[in-house]
Amino acid sequence: MDLKLEGKVVVVTGGSSGIGLATVDALTREGARVVTCSRDVDKLDAAITGLEHADQVTTTRCNVREGAEVKALAQLVAEKFGVLDGVVNNAGGSRMSPLEKMTTEDWHDELDLKFAPVLNAAHHLVPLMADAEAPSMVNLNAVLAKQPEPKLVATSAARAGLLNLSKSLATRLADDGIRVNSVCLGLVDTGQWQRRYEADGSGATFEEYSAEIAADRGIALGRFGRADEVSPLITFLLSPVSSYITGTSIDVAGGVNRYV
């Protein structure tokens, strides 16, 4: 299927590892031009250099929680391309957050982590999409938004809010022809989980460690997902081929979701 992404300009935040890196790879294979950012630009450049179509990628340092930095990212896109066809709000993470251990500051930090990047994109990147033919925003989220976990109370609540915000953006931006969708993840083997595994220090292999968590969380497929099992859906949602899909969320979760 031709996804009609040849020559399109897409911003992917957090492209130095995991799902962001896999998405940059998938988009450039479709002929798209990608601008990607992270806070550690050396790590970002090292990761992007390894891609087959690295010449289609522009890298820059940007902390997506800071409005001024996202504004500078938007200026870079405007100067280099003049238009923007898609945004993937991918950069971020999650933290263990049992209710009794969360301070008020922790709550504020978690809410900022989930909301600020998307609001900054809405303020600074969306205006560049005004003249695009089939503009689309994809927000990375988690099944936790609909199915909270006891050890991830703050993250779950913040993700539920982000899902709600994404729906509001879809309704508001539909007037401008911009589609907004969410991809809700289960457990995907990326830098995030590798860091947790290293911190665990139990002596188990990563396969043993992840299989135990998969069993504990009741993942129907019995394993973590891979980043390249998420990036095709993101690519599809950015494509004009998905032109009648907006305001929805799609799970990529191996059956960890227990709702219908």
Ligand X SMILES: NC(=O)c1ccc[n+]([C@@H]2O[C@H](COP(=O)([O-])OP(=O)(O)OC[C@H]3O[C@@H](n4cnc5c(N)ncnc54)[C@H](OP(=O)(O)O)[C@@H]3O)[C@@H](O)[C@H]2O)c1
Question: By the 8 A CB rule, do 5 and 56 touch?
Answer: no
What span, in angstroms and rounded, lies between the C-alpha atoms of 163 and 37?
23
Q: Is 131 exposed, middle or buried (0-12, 13-18, 19+ CB in 10 A)?
A: exposed
Residue 116's SS3 state is helix
What span, in angstroms and rounded, lies between the C-alpha atoms of 13 and 11?
6
Q: Is 254 in the site for ligand X (CB under 6 A)?
A: no
- Quick one: which of 64, 70, 129, 165 contacts ligand X (CB under 6 A)? 64
- Quick one: which of 190, 210, 239, 246 contacts ligand X (CB under 6 A)? 190
Q: Is 32 in the site for ligand X (CB under 6 A)?
A: no
Residues 197-236 as x/- pattern, contact with ligand X by CB under 6 A: ----------------------------------------
Residues 73-112 as x/- pattern, contact with ligand X by CB under 6 A: -----------------xxxxx------------------
CA diameter of the chain: 54
Residue number of the CB atom closest to ligand X: 18
Task: Identify which range of 63-71, 100-108, 128-136, 214-222 contacts ligand X by CB under 6 A.
Answer: 63-71
Residues 132-151 as x/- pattern, contact with ligand X by CB under 6 A: --------x-x---------
Q: How many residues bind ligand X (CB under 6 A)?
A: 31
Q: Is 167 in the site for ligand X (CB under 6 A)?
A: no
Closest CB 39 distance from ligand X, rounded Å:
3
What span, in angstroms and rounded, lies between the C-alpha atoms of 217 and 240?
36
What span, in angstroms and rounded, lies between the C-alpha atoms of 184 and 182?
6
Q: Is 156 in the site for ligand X (CB under 6 A)?
A: no
What span, in angstroms and rounded, lies between the C-alpha atoms of 151 and 182?
23
Closest CB 103 distance from ligand X, rounded Å:
20
Q: Is 177 in the site for ligand X (CB under 6 A)?
A: no
**Residues contacting 19, CB < 8 A, separation 6+:** 90, 140, 185, 188, 190, 227, 230, 231, 234
The residue ranges that bind ligand X (CB under 6 A) are 13-20, 37-40, 43, 62-65, 90-94, 140, 142, 185, 187-188, 190-193
